[in-house]
Amino acid sequence: MSTDITMMSLLLLLRGAYLRAWGEEPLEAWGKLELLAQIVSRHGLQAAFEAGSEIRQHLEHPVVRVFAAAPHPHHLFARWQRLEHFGHASHRTHCTEAEATGMILLHQGSATSSPGVLDNLFVAGVLYSLLEAQGCQKLSLWVGETAVVLEGQRQEFAEVEGDTSCWRWQWKEAGQGKALVLEAPQELEETHWRHRLRKILQRDLLYRWTLAELGRLLAVSSRTLQRRLADVGTSLTEELHRVRIEGACRLLETKEMSLTEIAFCCGFSDSAHFSRIFRRFAEVPPSAYREALWAEKR
């Protein structure tokens, strides 16, 4: 079973949770709500939250690692919103309040389609495990008025009071992320500072690096860094594109991930942006590059 976990494919995560719980494949015709209803009918309402938290079984998946690499819970949530955009999710999550030790999120739909209780608990479970993977300590979550997790300890509940689309999060200590590095071969003619720059950029392909931040890490001023980049005929934007494309090439070596997932993991704004930049560097679209790689292996 694929471990594709874009918003369009969270159904696969749920099917995996069902399989592990009962040792049998769910019916192909069941969608997300049917699966959740089956799980809840056997194990109660809390099982919808637990099914979402099953994402912890996929901590090595590149998409999950992107969330684990987020430098702060607020950054993780911003990445979640990007994933919803990438997957064209019908329900979107919004932040109504953000503080150093917590935030309040609303899980909302359109005028004609609002998420139900089971869907809300499922997605809250996904986010809970992602925040744990990111390093949040003593994490607490209230769904509506019901405490679901208190300081890292899951609470028993049979029903949820209040608006289940409202999630209040608190943490004692914010996680600082786990550096994500998609290694790429380094060109022999690169100077030492450029090699270090690329290593820094590879840590987190979704982070919005600035010249000032990179300059501090390289112990030079932002102007000096900008001048050095110009001297070798490049810019920060070009270096970011190059590192992201190199990361994408590594991920294209496997068929386990969709092009949408790869675009997300490598920091592109959408699939069209990924394809356009990839063509500029590789002279072929990413789909053709992957096909050529696999043709060589056959």
User: Which stretch, 37-41, 162-166, 267-271, has highest mean pLDDT?
Assistant: 162-166
Neighbours of 180 (CB within 10 A): 20
Gap between the Cα atoms of 240 and 197, Å rounded:
10
Nearest-CA neighbor of 46 among 168, 171, 141, 172?
141
Over 60: is that where the pLDDT of 4 sits?
Answer: no
pLDDT, mean of residues 164-175: 95
Q: Which residue has the higher pLDDT, 59 or 298?
A: 59
CB atoms within 10 A of CB 163: 14
Give, in order, the Cα–Cα distances in Å from 216 to each of 71, 198, 221, 222: 17, 15, 7, 8
Q: Find, among 93, 171, 78, 80, the residue nearest to 132 by Cα.
A: 171
pTM of the model: 0.85
Q: Cα–chain-centroid distance for residue 160?
A: 27
Q: Which of 87-101, 111-125, 191-205, 232-246 has the highest mean pLDDT?
A: 232-246
Contact 110, 175 (CB under 8 A): no
Res. 70: pLDDT tops 50: yes
**Shortest CA distance to 194 belongs to which of 260, 145, 238, 135?**
238
Residue 75's pLDDT is: 94
The CATH architecture of the domain made up of 7-170 is: Alpha-Beta Complex (3.90)
* pLDDT at residue 9, rounded to an integer: 59
pLDDT value at position 180? Answer: 56
pLDDT tier for residue 63 given thresholds of 50, 70 and 90:
confident
Average pLDDT, the chain: 87
pLDDT of residue 298: 67
Q: Is the pLDDT of residue 6 over 50?
A: yes
5 confidence band (pLDDT: 50, 70, 90): low
What does the pLDDT read at residue 191?
A: 57
With a pLDDT cut of 70, the percent of the chain lying above it is 89
SS3 percent helix, strand, coil of the chain, rounded to 5, is 55, 10, 35
What pLDDT was estimated at residue 19? 74
pLDDT of residue 26: 73
Kindly report which listed range (26-40, 75-89, 108-122, 140-154) carries the lowest average pLDDT score. Answer: 26-40
Once rounded to an integer, what is the mean pLDDT over residues 164-177?
Answer: 92
pLDDT in tens, 216-231: 989 999 999 999 999 9
Residue of higher predicted confidence among 139 and 32: 139
Q: Mind listing the pLDDT tens digit for each residue in 269-283? A: 989 999 999 999 999
Local confidence band at 97 (pLDDT 50, 70, 90 cut-offs)? very high
Q: What is the CATH number of domain 192-297?
A: 1.10.10.60
Give the domain ranges of the chain: 7-170, 192-297
Residue with tokens 């943490």: 171
